């Protein structure tokens, strides 16, 4: 093969990778869990939900753990009733639904007219986003609670048997797999040619995105089921040992740890200025990128199952207290609560924002669209 041919192939691959990033990061819609393949949890747009008005709500027959993907003016999500849904963004009316053989707790990813997700029937699915027709499915041996990402036409996701899979987004063929010691419920993140994820074996891993070869591993003192966030070459993730870790993405050395008094089971948000995360101690923390506390808010929470997200100058987090279950909106600069919306039921999934509307599923089986 000649030099020009090699250069042409390299250019095409580079353009595909660049397109993948632009596809996720520029749109006011949300194609993937936590907005992008680094799981920043930062949602762009010119409008921000005030939480003053219910736009619509859609009823399913099971608790919703799945964070929706927003694309083509459709809202895509799964429910514990075993169905995967496509809902009209504006009206909340059903476009189509697809029945699987068990509960759906993963969040979908949209790419190139297709929607991808896993079900606890131990299949990973690819559907046509317009029609809901199944294009292919991939069999695994464990439950699927790890939400997928797609980079350069490869789908990455973890499974209950402790395997991280890399599968062709086009046809569902296996490319490689990596075996951890216990289940992988953490959604993988991508940065600089590597896939990052945690496991219930208490280890945090970085593997080569092309080959699946282990690059480095960081042991922690507790299980890791939260997903990592990557910003400016630093990987942030929480562990059941109560620490938020900041790890160098290239070499895997721990830059710093921030200790809380509860387990960290939720994914942080990072906006390039600070890290926003909650702990089982009922506190919402805002920490600088070098690990210093900026401020914290005691939420009087019985549980904080839903990770915080950031949009503009605001932080949105779902909180369950002894008297309240709903969404809070805080000013991220001052920590002042500006508004709230009472769901009346616990929310477990991460909220998502698109076109000034916040979407979140709840224990009562409803998907809520809040303006």
Q: Collect contacts of 93-101 with beta carbons under 8 A, ≥24 apart.
A: 94/58, 95/132, 96/131, 96/132, 97/132, 98/125, 98/127, 98/132, 98/134, 100/125
pLDDT at position 11 over 70:
no
**Cα(212)–Cα(193) distance, rounded to whole angstroms?**
11
pLDDT of the residue at 9: 41
pLDDT at 46 exceeding the cut of 90: no
Read off the pLDDT band of 52 (50, 70, 90). Answer: very high
How many whole angstroms separate alpha carbon 122 and alpha carbon 34? 23
Residue 16 has pLDDT above 60, yes or no: no
φ and ψ at 98, to 5 degrees?
Answer: -130, 125
Joined together, the tokens standing for residue 285 give 């923390």
Q: What is the per-residue pLDDT for 301?
A: 60
Q: Does 18 score more than 70 pLDDT?
A: no
| Res. 48 pLDDT band, cuts 50 70 90 | very high
Q: With a cut of 80, say whether residue 6 has pLDDT above it.
A: no
Half-sphere exposure of 5 (CA within 13 A, CB side): 2
Residue 242 has pLDDT above 80, yes or no: yes
Task: Domain count for the chain, please give it.
Answer: 1
Hey, which residues does 350 pair with through a beta bridge?
none
Q: What is the mean pLDDT of the chain?
A: 92
Q: How confident is the model at residue 21 (pLDDT cuts 50, 70, 90)?
A: very low
- Encoded tokens for 65: 């753990």
Question: pTM for this one?
Answer: 0.92
Tokens of 107: 């969040």
Secondary structure of residue 8 in the 3-state scheme: helix
Q: What is the CATH number of the domain that holds 366?
A: 2.130.10.10
| % the chain with pLDDT above 70 | 92
User: Which is more confidently placed, 88 or 305?
Assistant: 88
Query: Using one digit for the tens of pLDDT, what is the confidence trace for 173-208?
Result: 999 999 999 999 999 999 999 999 999 999 999 999
- Predicted local distance difference test score (pLDDT) of residue 14: 44
What pLDDT shows up at residue 304?
74
Q: Give pLDDT, residue 27.
A: 63
Query: What is the mean predicted confidence (pLDDT) over 113-128?
Result: 99
Domain containing 66: what range? 3-370
The arithmetic mean of pLDDT across residues 258-276, rounded, is: 95
* pLDDT attached to residue 216: 99
Find the mean pLDDT for residues 107-131. Answer: 98
> At 79, is the pLDDT very low, low, confident or very high (cuts 50, 70, 90)?
very high
Percent of the chain scoring above 90 in pLDDT:
84
Closest CA to 23 of 9, 40, 36: 36
pLDDT at 112 over 90: yes
Above 70 in pLDDT, residue 25? no
The confidence band for 56, taking pLDDT boundaries of 50, 70 and 90, is very high
Residue 326: CB atoms within 10 A of its CB come to 21
The candidate with the shortest Cα–Cα distance to 366, out of 116, 110, 92, is 92
Q: What's the mean pLDDT in 305-312? A: 91
Would you say 371 and 55 are in contact if contact means Cβ atoms under 8 Å apart? yes
Rg of the Cα atoms in the chain: 19
User: What does the alpha-carbon distance between residue 300 and residue 289 come to, in Å, rounded to a whole number?
Assistant: 26
pLDDT for residue 300: 73
Alpha carbons 75 and 69: distance in angstroms, whole number: 6
pLDDT at residue number 44: 84
Has residue 19 got a pLDDT over 70?
A: no
Lowest mean pLDDT among 142-156, 298-312, 322-336, 343-357: 298-312
Who has greater pLDDT, 220 or 280? Answer: 220
Strand-pairing partners, residue 123, are 119, 139
């Amino acid at each position: 093969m000649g030099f020009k041919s090699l250069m042409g192939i390299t250019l095409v691959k580079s353009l595909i990778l660049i397109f993948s990033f632009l596809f996720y990061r520029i749109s006011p819609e949300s194609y993937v869990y936590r907005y992008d393949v680094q799981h920043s949890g930062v949602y762009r747009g010119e409008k921000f939900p005030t939480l003053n008005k219910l736009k619509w709500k859609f009823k399913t027959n099971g608790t919703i753990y799945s964070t929706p993907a927003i694309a083509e003016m459709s809202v895509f999500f799964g429910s514990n009733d075993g169905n995967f849904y496509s809902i009209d963004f504006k009206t909340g009316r059903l476009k189509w639904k697809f029945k699987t053989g068990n509960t759906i707790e993963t969040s979908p990813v949209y790419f190139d007219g297709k929607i991808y997700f896993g079900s606890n029937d131990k299949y990973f699915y690819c559907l046509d986003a317009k029609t809901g027709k199944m294009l292919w499915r991939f069999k695994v041996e464990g439950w699927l609670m790890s939400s997928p990402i797609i980079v350069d036409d490869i789908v990455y996701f973890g499974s209950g048997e402790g395997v991280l899979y890399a599968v062709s987004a086009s046809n569902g063929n296996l490319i490689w797999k990596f075996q951890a010691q216990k289940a992988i419920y953490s959604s993988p993140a991508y940065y600089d040619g590597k896939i990052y994820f945690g496991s219930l074996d208490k280890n945090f891993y970085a593997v080569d995105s092309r080959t699946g070869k282990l690059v480095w591993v960081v042991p922690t003192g507790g299980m890791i089921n939260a997903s990592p966030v990557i910003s400016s070459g630093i990987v942030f993730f929480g562990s059941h040992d109560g620490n938020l870790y900041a790890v160098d993405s290239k070499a895997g050395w721990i830059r710093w740890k921030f200790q809380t008094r509860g387990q960290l089971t939720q994914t942080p948000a990072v906006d390039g200025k600070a890290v926003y995360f909650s702990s089982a101690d009922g506190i919402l923390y805002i920490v600088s990128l070098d690990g210093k506390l900026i401020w914290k808010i005691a939420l009087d929470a019985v549980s904080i199952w839903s990770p915080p997200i950031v949009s503009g100058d605001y932080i949105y987090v779902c909180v369950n207290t002894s008297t309240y279950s709903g969404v809070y909106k805080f000013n991220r600069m001052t920590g002042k609560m500006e508004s709230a919306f009472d769901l009346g039921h616990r929310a477990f999934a991460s909220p998502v924002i698109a076109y000034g509307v916040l979407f979140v599923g709840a224990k009562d089986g409803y998907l809520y669209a809040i303006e």
